[in-house]
Structure 1
């Protein structure tokens, strides 16, 4: 009877050790899979559509960032911002003061790509059916203040001709 008792705890202990080892292996495997998935998504292209920024167009930008905040009508010609009109009093003041910081849509997409490449805590975009961005939200560090940026792109019109 004593011999039977000594075998049972040994077998039970062996099973517990085996189960614990199996759980450790499974947890490690699922963590590794999760890391590979996050890395793969971080390297994903900014958009899976074929939209290409035209040389000339106009759009309305609603920006909330440390450098630029307001609502602007933006004209782009030959790939460069040529005109910025603030759509309210504060935005008109900003349009005069920070004209050089008003981005093209292509530059906004570059910022999104950079945020993804640098593993920002938040780098999100919503796209129209044709693939152009409608909204880009960035936050390099959720624990930091004033590094967030939110851009809404409306009233997009490619130049005719």
Structure 2
């Protein structure tokens, strides 16, 4: 009886490790089947939490996009409110965040990663153009994404 359990564990453990390695590799690559099919709708809303670095865009925002442009943005914390009051144009659409990711990759950034939600929309973008530089990082977390049902 003991040898049967050891045999099952001997087969199960490597299979589990292989599965975890594949899942980890997929996450690190920043690709997903559903992500390849996601297209930014012309109208939607989402919550953006932007952190890291000394960027002009630090804070949490509720954003509404209409016809491909930010129509309204509300700062949900002190930093977000300051950004909206001083420069509403600094608040991006999801498409603009994807453009920033693409540009970082083209420029050879040390880190330019993306994670997707199960429906395919981006849910986290992590950028670090130069890992030796201080405060050039950006982390964007996208939540409460709602496409407009027009």
Question: TM-score under structure 1 normalisation?
Answer: 0.68
Q: Aligned pair count? A: 118
In terms of mean alpha carbon deviation, does 120-129 or 82-91 score higher? Answer: 82-91
1:52 aligns with 2:39: yes
Asked whether the equivalents of residues 46 and 112 of structure 1 are also in contact (C-alpha less than 8 Å), the reply is: no
**Structure 1 pair 146/107, CA: closer, same or farther in 2 (3 Å)?**
same
Task: Show the counterpart of 1:119.
Answer: 108
Task: Show the counterpart of 1:146.
Answer: 135
SS of 2:48's equivalent?
strand
Higher relative contact order (CA 8 A, sep 6+): 2
Asked whether the equivalents of residues 30 and 115 of structure 2 are also in contact (C-alpha less than 8 Å), the reply is: no
1:67 aligns with 2:56: yes
Provide the C-alpha distance between the structure 2 equivalents of 1:112 and 1:90, rounded to a whole number of angstroms: 23
Please, which of 74, 78, 94 is the counterpart of residue 85 of structure 1?
74
Asked whether the equivalents of residues 83 and 90 of structure 2 are also in contact (C-alpha less than 8 Å), the reply is: no
Provide the C-alpha distance between the structure 2 equivalents of 1:60 and 1:81, rounded to a whole number of angstroms: 12
Runs of 4+ in 1 over 2 A off after TM superposition: 44-48
Summarize deviations over 1:41-97 as a string: whole Å, max 9, x none. xxx997652000000000000002411111000000000001010112332122111
1:104 aligns with 2:84: no
Provide the C-alpha distance between the structure 2 equivalents of 1:116 and 1:89, rounded to a whole number of angstroms: 31
